[in-house]
Amino acid sequence: MPSAPSKLYSDDVSLLVVTLDTNPFFWSTFSFPFSEFLSHVLAFLNSILLLSQLNQVVVIATGCNSCTYLYDSSSDKNHGSTTGSMPSLYSDLLHNLEVFLAGDQQLAKPRVNAAGGGAPPPSLLSGSLSMALCYIQRAFRSGPIHPQPRILCLQGSADGPEQYVAIMNSIFSAQHSTVPIDSCYIGSNNSAFLQQASYITGGIYYRPPHLDGLFQYFSTVFATDLHSRAFLRLPKSVGVDFRASCFCHKQTIDMGYVCSVCLSIFCEHHDKCSTCGSVFGQAQSNVPSSTDRKRKA
Amino acid sequence: MSSGKVVKKAKYKATVKDPGTPGILVLTEEKFVFKPNDPTSSNKLEVDFKFIKSHKHTKEGSNKPPWLNLTHSQGSYIFELETFSDLHVCRELVGIALSKHGEAAKVVSEEQLSAAEMGQRIKLLQEDSKLQKLHKELVASGKLTESEFWATKKQLLDRVENRKTKQQIGFKNSLIFDTKPTSDGRINQVKFQLTPEIKYQIFALKPAVHQAFLNFVPSKMSEVDFWNKYFKAEYLHSTKNAVAAAAEAAEDEDLAVFLKDDEILEIEARKKVRRVDPTLDMEADQGDDYTHLPDHGIFRDGTKEISEAQNSLYRRTLLQDLNRQGAVVLEGKTLDIEMENPRAAAEVLARRKQESDGVLEDERHNRISKMTQIEDLQAQDDHRFAPLCIKDPRDYFDSQQVNAVKALDDSQAGMEKIKCSLSSEEAYSFLRDSIYKIKASGLRDPLFSPEVALKVLNELTKNISSTKSHIGKHSQDSVLDILPTSTKEKLLDHWVCSQELLRHFWSSYPITTQNLANKTRRLKDAISQVYSKLEEIKVSAKSDLRHQVSLIVHPMQQALDAALLHYDADIRKRNAKGAKPNGF
């Protein structure tokens, strides 16, 4: 289905890039079954395609070792193997997901053997966001007329602070190309990364409390195209967690040191900025002495 | 002198011219007293040195008698002493006394305000009832002094001052072309009244005269000669005799300068034409211009004159004059120009012209580049950079509101990591099983029940409408309004009051003078008063509102606490250090 020039893209035609969290460690411990989740998502994707003939859906899997494109509604490579009970969208997507999971498992590092109780590895959200943005860039460059792109992150696993810089870079590049990042976070705590992503790019962040009605949330909140959003009152993010991760230990911090040259964030004092190499002056060891010095001056 | 007291015979003079009242001058380090010899005289004086700003005295050997002049804010006291040696003794003591009161005097002088400033403050207080309340609360109760209070309100005062902008006086909108000569009627002579103002105006109106002045005066002719020539030319114009004007011009080339239609004006006109929108076709409009045709255009004197075309150089129409006058009036006048010296005025004017020319040129380039941009001829403008997106700062605070209200424990509690006890094998196979399941059985049918959908919709609606109120865009929904009005008022007052106190408190650190130390002590007392009042409000609140009130009061108390802690720490540190040479 190549984009023929005769296609009339109006302002409410969407290119929806969905990143799907396929972190096995999350799903195997989460109360809401993955199969249920998938049925809601599949129904939602289908309804997006039904909303307009020109709508386009791309699904990207966010694994913990790799990411991949699972489905592209404009691609020719879809098998179209309509088995009795399933539309081709579903069967293709599920088939690709199986292949992806097998590959992802092979990439898994041996450290997972320490199954005793380590925290589950986070999903590679930064990777899937980058892939989504790459896809959208291709759409932007395909010609002057293209569908309105947006990204929807379906995320469940907790944030990986070590991906902070990569995710923030993706967020800013999305902001730069005015691509909103919507996020539907189904985990138990709010995701600071996704909150910031949606806040900065002007997307919607929502954490649905009733997961059995997931489809309803999808269709009410996340199905709205960018044009219609101007007329609708959608959930607004309140209480965005703007905390950053330090560059040295990848920990989420409330307060820290910031390089005055490149704005890198550190949780403790360093002699030299690890990012730009600027040499810092003496740290003020304790507050009283510093005020002392000021008073003497 | 060592006793710090000097008694001398002296005469007190209210002014320099005053012959003086003889009497006794007693000087101490604190004050000086003058007792006239004549007990009925009203010239008794007793003045503290803190009111004295400075002292002057006449020099020995000058032709003036030995005078001691003590200046205060409204004038000065002059004492004429008998000898210069007496003067020296008095002067020394005054010097000591003044240096002693120096610091104090400075503080006092701050308090001494001009009536205008006082009036401004009163007006501000009258206009702003909140400010008045604060002023009453803080100043009247002695927590802050008047000057301390206003020191932080300087901006307000300045704003009042700025409101009365100095209006620039422009040109009089009268045609100065018609500087009428006066004649006494007896002799065959006319007189022109020339003021610097008129000269300047002539320069502005007639660039040719301006140029000529710069060229000729004073190298070629004197200023008087120049103006004589100018008015002669003007006179020829006013005789309505273009032919005569032409004849005169032929004889005297200097005079011709004035009589010729200003070339410079023409150049300027051309410049103006260039300022016109480049897409406007000026030539097409030329047909509408009748003034160049014979029989058109009223001359300044009201006649309609038809003369030979060759003399048209020496004609000026009323329309041209009026236009020129209008243009000059609109251009305005340079401020701070020295009118008295015509040469200087002429130079300033020339300089200003050059500046504005530069600006005009830039403007024109900008205009042309803007106007000539015809879209289909332009190369495709692919924006290499997306426009910078700057968020509304209000947005940020809205999004933070919940974080501020929400206690930290919420985020902390959820932070404990989910322990993963499965191996990767198990986890992946679990996920694969899910996929098999959905492959085998298809999507759930129905996906979910209508009840769930309704629940979700209700919850979403509630969520969206509650965020609206949470964000506090509608003040009627804020927590403060749940409280009874009296409590609310009290809280707001205390808030304003404590903000003001804290501002003063923190601005007085580091403490360098005794004054600041006193001020912080006063402020500390006031702060602890406010603190206890807040505590009272918290306790007196009704049980159902107590939580809300304490939520509001808590951050205020925290801020006050910080100030009190800082005060104590600072005191302790200074005591521990022991006295420093200057005490601080």
pLDDT tops 90 at residue B494: no
pLDDT for res A215: 92
**Structural domain ending residue among the three candidates B296, B328, B353:** B353
For residue B223, tell me if it sits in a domain: yes
**What is the tally of helices (H) and strands (E) in chain B?**
21, 7
Distance CA B79, CA B99 (A): 20
Q: Name residue A149's beta-bridge partners.
A: A15
Asked if A239 and B403 come within 8 Å (Cβ–Cβ), the reply is yes
B chain contacts of residue A240, beta-carbon cutoff 8 Å: 399-400, 403
Asked if A216 and B453 come within 8 Å (Cβ–Cβ), the reply is yes
**B372–chain A nearest CA distance, Å:** 25
pLDDT in tens, B235-264: 776 665 666 666 666 666 666 666 555 666
Interface test with A, best of B439, B449, B469 (most A CBs within 10 A): B439
For residue B415, tell me if it sits in a domain: no
Q: Is residue B344 less than 8 Å (CB to CB) from chain A?
A: no
**A1–chain B nearest CA distance, Å:** 26
In total, the C-beta contacts within 8 angstroms joining chain A to chain B are 162
Highest mean pLDDT among B71-75, B272-276, B370-374, B439-443: B439-443
Element housing B344 (H / E): helix B342-371
Q: Is residue B406 less than 8 Å (CB to CB) from chain A?
A: yes
Highest mean pLDDT among B49-63, B318-332, B431-445, B464-478: B431-445
- Tokens 């053997």 belong to residue: A113
For residue B143, tell me if it sits in a domain: yes
Asked if A288 and B420 come within 8 Å (Cβ–Cβ), the reply is no
The full DSSP string for B552-569 is HHHHHHHHHHHHHHHHHH
Cβ-nearest to B439 among A94, A108, A220 = A94
Q: Is residue B407 less than 8 Å (CB to CB) from chain A?
A: no
Distance CA B57, CA B67 (A): 5
Domain A14-231 has CATH 3.40.50.2000: no
Asked if A189 and B420 come within 8 Å (Cβ–Cβ), the reply is no
Asked if A158 and B418 come within 8 Å (Cβ–Cβ), the reply is yes
A chain contacts of residue B464, beta-carbon cutoff 8 Å: 233-236
- Res. B407 pLDDT band, cuts 50 70 90: very low
Collect contacts of B484-488 with beta carbons under 8 A, ≥24 apart.
B487/B537, B487/B541, B487/B545, B487/B549
Instruction: Answer yes or no: do B140 and B191 share one domain.
Output: no
Global confidence as pTM: 0.46
Distance CA A10, CA A145 (A): 9
* Selection from B213, B250, B440 nearest residue B348 by Cα: B213
Instruction: Answer yes or no: do B208 and B333 share one domain.
Output: yes
**A271–chain B nearest CA distance, Å:** 30
Structure tokens at A48: 């997006």
pLDDT for res A45: 93
With beta carbons less than 8 A apart as the criterion, state whether A103 and A66 touch: yes
**Higher-confidence residue: B355 or B487?**
B487
Q: Average the pLDDT over each of A113-117, B315-319, B353-357, B378-382 and give the range with the smallest value.
A: A113-117
Instruction: Answer yes or no: do B332 and B196 share one domain.
Output: yes
What's the rounded mean pLDDT across residues B253-280? Answer: 66
Distance CA B561, CA A46 (A): 59
* Selection from A275, A246, A248 nearest residue A260 by Cα: A275
With beta carbons less than 8 A apart as the criterion, state whether B170 and B332 touch: yes
Asked if A240 and B406 come within 8 Å (Cβ–Cβ), the reply is no
- Tokens 């006031």 belong to residue: B526
What percentage of residues in chain B have a pLDDT greater than 90?
A: 1
Cβ-nearest to B424 among A40, A105, A240 = A105
Asked if A236 and B467 come within 8 Å (Cβ–Cβ), the reply is yes
Which domain range does residue B511 map to?
Answer: 485-576
Interface test with A, best of B418, B454, B461, B470 (most A CBs within 10 A): B418
Given strand A14-21, what is the order of strands in its sheet?
A67-72, A56-62, A14-21, A148-155, A181-185, A205-206
Cβ-nearest to A115 among B423, B457, B464 = B423
Cβ-nearest to B427 among A24, A217, A236 = A24
Asked if B439 and A91 come within 8 Å (Cβ–Cβ), the reply is yes
Q: Which residue in A has a C-alpha nearest to residue B449's C-alpha?
A: A213
Instruction: Answer yes or no: do B81 and B13 share one domain.
Output: yes
- Tokens 């006050």 belong to residue: B560
Instruction: Answer yes or no: do B156 and B18 share one domain.
Output: no
Of chain B residues 497-516, which have a CB less than 8 A from chain A? 510
A chain contacts of residue B397, beta-carbon cutoff 8 Å: none
Q: What is the DSSP letter of B81?
A: E
Distance CA B236, CA B245 (A): 6
Q: Which amino acid appears at position A223 of this protein?
A: A
Instruction: Answer yes or no: do B45 and B120 share one domain.
Output: no
For residue B327, tell me if it sits in a domain: yes
Asked if B464 and A233 come within 8 Å (Cβ–Cβ), the reply is yes
- Res. B503 pLDDT band, cuts 50 70 90: confident
Looking at chain B, how many residues does it have? 584
pLDDT tops 60 at residue B87: yes
Instruction: Answer yes or no: do B179 and B328 share one domain.
Output: yes
Cβ-nearest to B389 among A97, A175, A217 = A175
Q: Is residue B456 less than 8 Å (CB to CB) from chain A?
A: yes
Q: Which residue in B has a C-alpha nearest to residue A189's C-alpha?
A: B414
**Structural domain ending residue among the three candidates B126, B143, B166:** B166
Distance CA A56, CA A73 (A): 6
pLDDT tops 80 at residue B524: yes
Structure tokens at B484: 């009874």
Q: Is residue B397 less than 8 Å (CB to CB) from chain A?
A: no
Domain with CATH 3.40.50.410 in chain A: 14-231
Q: Is the ipTM of this complex over 0.85?
A: no
A chain contacts of residue B447, beta-carbon cutoff 8 Å: 39-40, 43, 215
Asked if A188 and B444 come within 8 Å (Cβ–Cβ), the reply is no
For residue B523, tell me if it sits in a domain: yes
Cβ-nearest to B399 among A29, A199, A295 = A199
Buried b (16+ CB within 10 A) or exposed e, B251-290: eeebbbbbbeebeebeebeeeeeeeeeeeeeeeeeeeeee
Interface test with A, best of B443, B452, B584 (most A CBs within 10 A): B443
- Res. B416 pLDDT band, cuts 50 70 90: very low
What percentage of residues in chain B have a pLDDT greater than 70?
A: 56
Q: Average the pLDDT over each of A71-75, B146-150, B460-464, B472-476 and give the range with the smallest value.
A: B472-476
**A37–chain B nearest CA distance, Å:** 10
Instruction: Answer yes or no: do B98 and B125 share one domain.
Output: no
Distance CA A87, CA A92 (A): 9
A chain contacts of residue B428, beta-carbon cutoff 8 Å: 24, 101, 104-105, 108
Counting the structural domains of chain B, the total is: 4
pLDDT for res B504: 84
pLDDT for res B308: 44
**A110–chain B nearest CA distance, Å:** 9
Interface test with A, best of B456, B457, B470 (most A CBs within 10 A): B456
For residue B465, tell me if it sits in a domain: no
The full DSSP string for B11-40 is EEESSSS---EEEEEEEESSEEEEEESSTT
For residue B584, tell me if it sits in a domain: no
Structure tokens at B268: 């300027």
Cβ-nearest to A29 among B389, B418, B447 = B418
pLDDT for res B309: 42
Q: Within a 10 A sphere around the Cβ of B190, how many other Cβ atoms?
A: 12
Distance CA B175, CA B238 (A): 14
Q: Which residue in A has a C-alpha nearest to residue B401's C-alpha?
A: A239
Q: Which amino acid appears at position B128 of this protein?
A: D
Asked if A119 and B443 come within 8 Å (Cβ–Cβ), the reply is no
Looking at chain A, how many residues does it have? 297
Instruction: Answer yes or no: do B229 and B334 share one domain.
Output: yes
Structure tokens at B271: 């410049």
Highest mean pLDDT among A46-60, A259-273, B27-41, B277-291: A46-60
Angle at the Cα of B60 from the Cα atoms of B55 and B64, rounded to 5 degrees: 80
Average predicted confidence (pLDDT) for chain B: 70
pLDDT in tens, A228-253: 888 888 887 777 778 888 888 877 78
Asked if B456 and A213 come within 8 Å (Cβ–Cβ), the reply is yes
Cβ-nearest to B443 among A39, A112, A242 = A39
CATH number where B14 lies: 2.30.29.30
* Selection from B238, B223, B224, B225 nearest residue B181 by Cα: B238
Cβ-nearest to A215 among B415, B427, B448 = B448
**Higher-confidence residue: B572 or B295?**
B572
* Selection from B409, B404, B403, B412 nearest residue B555 by Cα: B404
With beta carbons less than 8 A apart as the criterion, state whether B460 and A217 touch: yes
Instruction: Answer yes or no: do B568 and B521 share one domain.
Output: yes
**A119–chain B nearest CA distance, Å:** 6
Element housing B78 (H / E): strand B76-81
pLDDT tops 70 at residue B21: yes
Q: Average the pLDDT over each of A225-229, B19-23, B269-273 and give the range with the smallest value.
A: B269-273
* Rg (chain B; Cα; Å): 42
pLDDT in tens, B93-124: 777 777 766 544 444 444 456 677 777 778 77
SS (H, E, C) B481-533: HHCCHHHHHHHHHHHHHHHHHHHHHHHCCCCCCHHHHHHHHHHHHHHHHHHHH
**Structural domain ending residue among the three candidates B306, B336, B353:** B353
For residue B298, tell me if it sits in a domain: no
Q: Within a 10 A sphere around the Cβ of B143, how many other Cβ atoms?
A: 22
Low-confidence residues of chain A, pLDDT below 70?
A: 1-10, 76-85, 109-119, 282-297
The full DSSP string for chain A is ----TT----TT-EEEEEEEE--HHHHHHSSS-HHHHHHHHHHHHHHHHHH-TT-EEEEEEE-SS-EEEEEETT-S-------TT--HHHHHHHHHHHHHHHHHHHH--GGGG-TTTPPPPPP-HHHHHHHHHHHHHHHHHT-S---EEEEEEEE-SPP-GGGHHHHHHHHHHHHHTT--EEEEE-SSS--HHHHHHHHHHT--EE--S-GGGHHHHIIIIIT--HHHHTTS--PPP-S----EE-TTT--EESS-EE-TTT--EESS--SB-TTT-PBP------HHHHHHHHHH-
Q: What is the DSSP letter of B386?
A: P
Of chain B residues 222-281, which have a CB less than 8 A from chain A? none
